[in-house]
Chain A
Amino acid sequence: MGHAQKATEFNKDEAKVNWHDKALWYVREKRDKSAHNVQGWEYLRQLGSGIKANVLSNLDKYLIQFETNAKNNGIQVHWASNAEEHNTIINSILEKHNAKKVVKSKSMLTEECHLNPFLESKGIEVVDTDLGERIVQLAEEPPSHIVLPAIHKTKEDVDVLFQEHLNTKPSGGNPEYLVGEARKHLRDKFLNADVAITGVNFAVADTGGVVVCTNEGNADMGVHLAKAHIACMGIEKIIPQEKHLGVFLRLLARSATGQPITTYSSHFNKAEEGKEMHIVIVDNGRTEQLSREDFRASLHCIRCGACMNTCPIYRRSGGHSYDYTIPGPIGSILSPGKDLKKHSSLPFASTLCGSCSNVCPVKINIHEQLYKWRQIIVQEEKQPIVKKSILKTAGVVLSKPKLYKMAGKSARFALKHAPRFMIYNKLNAWGKARDLPEVKHESFDEWYKKRRKNE
């Protein structure tokens, strides 16, 4: 099922669509306010974009520098070329520690690699400790947003879910009560965890350390209580120097939620005494994307989610309609690189309005990349016959003025004289919720000709 069908499903409940749209629009407005309060915001974005471009063109050098420095700090560094290797590496570390219980703070990479089901199949309990992630985990759903994973759920939904899984009392969706119960539940998980897994927001080449940004402090809590820490990162998470955090930490939280900075920016530079720290560096299709010149900049992404919050389509279709780990505009330019066939509807799930490119803190030209993917998809994937023949014919007719004149006339004639049931039928998607334009008795061409004659 493509995006359009899933979006249609989501739109059956209009009240929910309105609520989802408003919730995310609120975040977008918060982002505007807080970003525009920073003098030189647009320059900061330029800087962020420039640093990322530099990283991508020197990635080999920075990765090796990072590895060397991390190793000097006693961190064990692992390389994984794909999801399978990533999962196997993590499993082997867990086996070494005889770990049965794992807590995990937010990491889109482990989602991408489907780590949870893999570890669960080995009899390991994995608990997502970010509240939103825990909610979707209990609901057995994927996150629908990269920063607000449970944004598609109302507090009433959460109430019901917690009654079922955490034995809470019905509270009519009382947020304080529900958060309090979640805290108790998670505290227990933290205290009993053998190993903590975290994602990585920034990996600093010149220190060999990683930075993890959370609002709940769950990364720290997990890492400090467990005997080993595994941090998982995509190769593009590198930044050259620690001072560049001054650019990215400023950009990230403001773009994501409108906060000046995330509540916790946790720096992990080496393991605590008597503990172990591992870093798994993952490719999983990233070098391939890097090799595509038109799409390389998609790897600038710092996963702030701003492009989702601003996207009028995302807000009205929900994250699950994209059916990819990373939904929304950025997901629509990343996913075709992973599986063109499966995700071929996503670059078309956009009006190319360009708002995503404008909010992106690292200036990815998202809407231009959407346009470019469309050209490739039409060449490489089978297209619906009707769409193809209409557009190919249009290409011919519109390049031949005489044909065009005839076609215009007969189309207007049909529109004017065909009975309503013929125009507003099932095949006419336009006419489902919209009327067609009222037909005037002449075209501009005809009017102009007449006028010239009378002059």
Chain B
Amino acid sequence: MTNSAIKVGLFIPCYVNQLYPQVGIATLELLEKLGVDVYYPEGQTCCGQPLGNSGYEQDSKGICNLFVKNFNDYDYIVGPSGSCIYHVKHHFDILEQTPEVKRVRNNAYELCEFIVKILGKTDLGASFPHKVGLHKSCHGLRGLKLGKCSEVQGEHYSTEEDLLKEVKGLELMALNRKDECCGFGGTFAVFEEAISSKMGKDRVQDHIDSDVEVLTGADHSCLMHMEGIVNRNKQPLKVMHIAEILNSSL
């Protein structure tokens, strides 16, 4: 199958749609560059994760059903957010497992994983001459297994690193704690404000201590949280989604 025969439904998470359109744009452009047939189903909203993680799974069924309805027609569902995709794959078990639901759950992919695993590409021709720090979001890392996490025995691998390593001029910086949680955690960020902020602050500091210029990751919710801290404290760190880096040709 050539890439152009692959029908992809683009999922743009609600907060990215409203607050970070540039991430959605980069994701779309990237997929188009890769030659796949991208559709953006109108009427999409959210994956239901904010409700599920807060204990309101039962109230999220309408959202989940809408998601399935919107994305049922595509070979793959691709989104620039590991945690949303994880939610679809893992927590849509509350719906009746119709063939449509199963299909959507099976075919949902986080953007990096889709590019590396399904399209089999790592060099996307991008160039980005900066020192970059990679934040490995927990739902991507531990949930979708996009890489090996430090507490588990085994060979090192990382889907995001595979892609970043091919970016011209990009220097991937080693962190002190390479995969600690940033403390976003959805409503945790608000209801456990003190710990959430402290965790974010510590993560940001690790990047700064490691001479990082641009902090990136495959999940913009973590990035939004850390960016909030960076901006509040006027720290010398730029925050960008990995799609923006992979889509750049500086």
- List residues of A whose CB falls within 8 A of some B CB: 3-4, 7-8, 11, 14, 17, 21, 25, 28, 32, 35-36, 41-42, 310, 312-313, 316-317, 348-355, 357-359, 371, 374-379, 387, 391-392, 394-401, 404, 408, 411-412, 429-430, 432-440, 442-448
B54 near A358: Cβ-Cβ < 8 Å: no
Docked Cα-Cα span, A353 to B43, in Å, equals: 30
Docked Cα-Cα span, A7 to B199, in Å, equals: 12
Q: Identify 14 residue pairs between A and B in the complex whose beta-carbon atoms are under 8 Å apart, listed by A's number.
A: A4-B195, A17-B198, A313-B192, A392-B56, A396-B62, A430-B189, A432-B193, A434-B229, A435-B227, A436-B228, A437-B20, A437-B224, A443-B18, A447-B24
Min CB distance B188 to A, Å, is 5
Docked Cα-Cα span, A35 to B152, in Å, equals: 9
Return chain B residues, CB-CB under 8 Å to A17. Answer: 198
Give B203's nearest chain A residue, CB to CB. Answer: A312
For the side of the interface on B, what is the size category? 35 or more
- A4-B191, A355-B142, A399-B63 known; A41 vs B19 contact (CB < 8 Å): no
Return chain B residues, CB-CB under 8 Å to A25. Answer: 177
Enumerate B145-191 residues with CB–CB distance to A below 8 Å: 149-154, 177, 180-181, 183-191
Q: Which of B40, B43, B193, B195 contacts A317 (CB 8 A)?
A: B195
Q: Does B53 contact A (CB under 8 A)?
A: yes
Return chain A residues, CB-CB under 8 Å to B58. Answer: 375, 379
Docked Cα-Cα span, A205 to B139, in Å, equals: 40
Give the segment of B9-17, B107-115, B127-135 that binds chain A: B9-17
Return chain B residues, CB-CB under 8 Å to A391. Answer: 50-51, 54, 56, 59, 187
Min CB distance B15 to A, Å, is 8
Return chain A residues, CB-CB under 8 Å to B45. Answer: 397-401, 404
Report which residue of A412, A430, A433 has the largest number of chain B beta carbons within 10 angstroms of its beta carbon: A433
Report which residue of B28, B40, B45 has the largest number of chain A beta carbons within 10 angstroms of its beta carbon: B45
Which 3 A-B pairs have CB atoms at the shortest separation, nearest pair first? Answer: A434-B228, A399-B62, A351-B185
Report which residue of B17, B189, B192 has the largest number of chain A beta carbons within 10 angstroms of its beta carbon: B192
Report which residue of B91, B185, B189 has the largest number of chain A beta carbons within 10 angstroms of its beta carbon: B185
A394 near B57: Cβ-Cβ < 8 Å: no
Docked Cα-Cα span, A401 to B185, in Å, equals: 25
Min CB distance B8 to A, Å, is 15
Min CB distance A309 to B, Å, is 10
Q: Does B60 contact A (CB under 8 A)?
A: yes
Return chain A residues, CB-CB under 8 Å to B181. Answer: 312, 351, 353, 355
Docked Cα-Cα span, A378 to B56, in Å, equals: 7
The count of A-to-B residue pairs whose CB atoms sit within 8 angstroms is 205
Min CB distance B40 to A, Å, is 6
- A4-B193, A434-B197 known; A404 vs B14 contact (CB < 8 Å): yes
B18 near A434: Cβ-Cβ < 8 Å: no
Q: Which of B24, B139, B142 contacts A444 (CB 8 A)?
A: B24
Q: Does B82 contact A (CB under 8 A)?
A: no
Give A409's nearest chain B residue, CB to CB. Answer: B18
Docked Cα-Cα span, A351 to B187, in Å, equals: 9
Q: Does B35 contact A (CB under 8 A)?
A: no
Docked Cα-Cα span, A358 to B179, in Å, equals: 13
Contact bitstring B202-237, A, C-beta under 8 A = 1, else 0: 100000000000000000000011011101100000
Return chain B residues, CB-CB under 8 Å to A434. Answer: 197, 200, 225, 228-229, 231-232
A351 near B21: Cβ-Cβ < 8 Å: no
Give A439's nearest chain B residue, CB to CB. Answer: B19
Min CB distance A115 to B, Å, is 32
Q: Which of A351, A379, A411, A448 contacts B183 (CB 8 A)?
A: A351
Q: Which of A7, A32, A359, A375 contacts B195 (CB 8 A)?
A: A7
Return chain B residues, CB-CB under 8 Å to A35. Answer: 153
Return chain B residues, CB-CB under 8 Å to A36. Answer: 153
Return chain B residues, CB-CB under 8 Å to A378. Answer: 54-56
A442 near B43: Cβ-Cβ < 8 Å: no
Docked Cα-Cα span, A397 to B18, in Å, equals: 14
- A316-B198, A408-B18 known; A358 vs B152 contact (CB < 8 Å): yes
Give B199's nearest chain A residue, CB to CB. Answer: A312
Min CB distance A33 to B, Å, is 11
Give A313's nearest chain B residue, CB to CB. Answer: B195
Return chain A residues, CB-CB under 8 Å to B65. Answer: 399
Min CB distance A425 to B, Å, is 14
Contact bitstring B52-94, A, C-beta under 8 A = 1, else 0: 1111111110110110000000000000000000000001000
Return chain B residues, CB-CB under 8 Å to A442. Answer: 21
Docked Cα-Cα span, A430 to B225, in Å, equals: 9
Return chain B residues, CB-CB under 8 Å to A14. Answer: 198
A371 near B53: Cβ-Cβ < 8 Å: yes
A395 near B62: Cβ-Cβ < 8 Å: yes
Docked Cα-Cα span, A319 to B45, in Å, equals: 39
A352 near B138: Cβ-Cβ < 8 Å: yes
Return chain A residues, CB-CB under 8 Å to B196. Answer: 351
Report which residue of A395, A400, A444 has the largest number of chain B beta carbons within 10 angstroms of its beta carbon: A444
If A3-B192, A391-B51, A444-B18 are given as contacts, then 17 extra A-B residue pairs at C-beta distance below 8 Å, sorted by A number, are A312-B180, A316-B202, A317-B195, A371-B91, A374-B54, A391-B50, A392-B59, A398-B46, A399-B62, A400-B62, A401-B44, A430-B228, A434-B200, A435-B228, A440-B19, A442-B21, A444-B25
Return chain B residues, CB-CB under 8 Å to A357. Answer: 142
B18 near A412: Cβ-Cβ < 8 Å: yes
Q: Does B22 contact A (CB under 8 A)?
A: yes
Q: Which of B18, B19, B62, B192 contacts A7 (CB 8 A)?
A: B192
A41 near B185: Cβ-Cβ < 8 Å: no
Give A35's nearest chain B residue, CB to CB. Answer: B153
Min CB distance A5 to B, Å, is 9
Report which residue of B22, B57, B184 has the largest number of chain A beta carbons within 10 angstroms of its beta carbon: B57
Docked Cα-Cα span, A429 to B153, in Å, equals: 38
Docked Cα-Cα span, A4 to B191, in Å, equals: 7
Docked Cα-Cα span, A17 to B202, in Å, equals: 11
Give B192's nearest chain A residue, CB to CB. Answer: A4
A359 near B62: Cβ-Cβ < 8 Å: no
Min CB distance B219 to A, Å, is 12
Return chain A residues, CB-CB under 8 Å to B142. Answer: 353-355, 357-358
A348 near B191: Cβ-Cβ < 8 Å: yes
A429 near B231: Cβ-Cβ < 8 Å: no
